[in-house]
Chains A and B, each alone.
Chain A
Amino acid sequence: MLYEQIARNKRKTFLVMFLFAVIFALVGAGLGQLLWDKPLPGILTALVVALVYSFLVFQDPVNVVMSMNHGQELREEDNPQLFHIVEDMAMVGQIPMPKVYLIPDQSPNAFATGLSPDKSAVAVTQGLLDMMDREELEGVLGHEISHIRNYDIRLSMVALVLVSAISFISQFAQRWIWYGFGGGDRDDDDRDSGGALGMIIGVIGVVFVLILGPLAAALAQMALSRNREYLADAGSVELTRNPQGLISALTKIENSQPMKAANSASASLYIEDPIRRPSLSHLFDTHPPTSERIKRLQEM
């Protein structure tokens, strides 16, 4: 069961990387067409930028994700109880002790991140520490340790990093198009924008760049199946042997305010969606409905 999950996650990570390489190449081709009227230099530039960016981020990915979410690393003296619970869960889950971070936010939530169990971290919010008792904290951290154990963290980390790279490019390109086509006074009139073909390519480029961010996010969404939350809930119960703690923790989290500090790109990492947008369609929800999760836990 666990081994199958690990194998599936590693396969999916590879697939996600491949798909994003394709998207980067397409974006590069589009930009190359717009800038130099040739796709190839654009493709090469985009791939090189993506490689350098990934290399830089994956040097210390935990640090990057934690600073995106305003996490501060804790030492054992800062909160012995939290540390001891993480130690317990790591011991029984047979993984090395992850680093522990605190997010100063009053909404209760938690997430785990890292590329592998050897270099992983868990983060909890101040609200979680304030609201939960020991049993509930064990449930929540058992869930996070399960994500680390079965390599969910690697898949979601890679997806997160690549989605943010794409949204960065997309924003950059949107701004460039804005100044290029809507901005009015442009001094560098070296290319004649009067031609119909130029207009068409321009329009296609704009549309593509505008839908690019949501498209990438939707792709990442498909890779991160919502099933993984159910699996991590089950993993938590396997570690703690006590569904009650996680049930009451999820209930408390559901009835609380959304987070302020959460970075929207990392929403899928959290144990419960930290943003809780008013969702008209549940198609793009990052998390399964809490009531359904609680129901499954009660049946265990």
Chain B
Amino acid sequence: MTLWIVLLILVILIAIFYISAYNGMQKAKINTEEAWSQITVQLKRRNDLIPNLVETVKGYAKHEKETLSAVVALRNQLVQVPADDHEQAMQLSNQITDSLKSIFALAESYPDLKANQNFGQLQEELTNTENKIAYSRQLYNSCAASYNKLLVTFPSNIVANIHHFSKVDYLSIPEEETKAPKVSF
């Protein structure tokens, strides 16, 4: 009799552990997915802002066609990237960041452009999206880290194996950003 009771309690305990481990992992996985969707929201926002920026800059800096068309080309490439290819999207995004930097550097040689109110607003908007991309990437990586940790640590790794949870890749952070501060154009 006592043996049965002990066994029953044991089974219940294992079931509770199993369910909570499973839910914990699902939650961690959803967190990383949410973090990724934060990034895509910001990428899309930036894609929408770039044409406005190009329009504004065109009027003042007629001789800088190349810089402008480079950023437009990158933007159009980014729009084509399939939704699940995180690595490529981030690579293109980093290139856009660099070319936006060079566009904002242009303003230094065109005082009229710099004084333009619209340009100033776009500059703050784009700085904001750039920073949000950087911060949501940071959030994504920390969510991915806590999820990946569950996959390899005992006892949650048992549940992970049964349900074929797989590792999430980290987003690579560009070399200069690992030490330098976030963008401010």
Q: Which residues of A contact B (CB under 8 A)?
A: 80-81, 84-85, 87-88, 91-92, 94, 133-135, 138, 240-242, 244-245
Q: Which residues of A contact B181 (CB under 8 A)?
A: 135, 138, 240, 242, 244-245
Q: A91-B38, A92-B138, A92-B139 are in contact. Are A138 and B132 (CB under 8 A)?
A: no
Q: Which residues of A contact B128 (CB under 8 A)?
A: 80-81, 84, 87-88
Instruction: Tell me if B136 counts as interface (CB < 8 A to partner A).
Output: yes
Among the interface residues A87, A134, A240, which one has the most CB atoms of the partner chain B within 10 A? A134
CB pair A88 B184 closer than 8 Å: no
Q: Which residues of A contact B127 (CB under 8 A)?
A: 84, 134
Q: Which residues of B contact A (CB under 8 A)?
A: 38, 124-125, 127-128, 131-132, 135-136, 138-139, 181-182, 184
CB pair A92 B184 closer than 8 Å: no
- Give Cα distance in the complex from A134 to B138, angstroms: 18
Among the interface residues B124, B128, B135, which one has the most CB atoms of the partner chain A within 10 A? B135
- Give Cα distance in the complex from A242 to B183, angstroms: 12
Whole-angstrom distance between the Cβ of A100 and the nearest chain B Cβ: 15
The listed residue (A81, A135, A138) touching B124 by CB distance below 8 A is A81
- Give Cα distance in the complex from A87 to B136, angstroms: 11
The residue of chain A having its C-beta at the shortest distance from the C-beta of B128 within the complex is: A84
CB pair B138 A241 closer than 8 Å: yes
List the 10 closest pairs (A to B, CB-CB), nearest first.
Answer: A84-B128, A92-B135, A134-B184, A242-B181, A135-B181, A88-B135, A92-B139, A80-B124, A88-B131, A92-B138
Q: Is the interface of B mostly helix, strand, loop or mixed?
A: helix
- Give Cα distance in the complex from A35 to B124, angstroms: 64
The listed residue (B125, B132, B182) touching A242 by CB distance below 8 A is B182
Whole-angstrom distance between the Cβ of B101 and the nearest chain A Cβ: 15
Whole-angstrom distance between the Cβ of A81 and the nearest chain B Cβ: 6
CB pair B135 A135 closer than 8 Å: no
Whole-angstrom distance between the Cβ of B138 and the nearest chain A Cβ: 6
The listed residue (A80, A88, A94, A135) touching B132 by CB distance below 8 A is A88
Whole-angstrom distance between the Cβ of B78 and the nearest chain A Cβ: 21
The residue of chain A having its C-beta at the shortest distance from the C-beta of B124 within the complex is: A80
Q: Which residues of A contact B182 (CB under 8 A)?
A: 134-135, 138, 240, 242
23 A-B contacts, Cβ less than 8 Å apart?
A: A80-B124, A80-B125, A80-B128, A81-B124, A85-B131, A87-B128, A88-B128, A88-B132, A91-B38, A91-B139, A92-B135, A92-B136, A92-B139, A133-B184, A134-B127, A134-B182, A134-B184, A135-B182, A240-B181, A240-B182, A242-B181, A244-B181, A245-B181
Q: Which residues of A contact B125 (CB under 8 A)?
A: 80
Q: Which residues of A contact B124 (CB under 8 A)?
A: 80-81, 84
Whole-angstrom distance between the Cβ of A285 and the nearest chain B Cβ: 31
Whole-angstrom distance between the Cβ of A145 and the nearest chain B Cβ: 12
- Give Cα distance in the complex from A244 to B125, angstroms: 24
- Give Cα distance in the complex from A94 to B142, angstroms: 11
Additional pairs, 15, CB under 8 Å, beyond known A88-B132, A91-B136, A92-B136: A80-B124, A80-B128, A84-B128, A85-B131, A88-B128, A88-B135, A91-B38, A92-B135, A92-B139, A134-B184, A135-B181, A135-B182, A135-B184, A244-B181, A245-B181
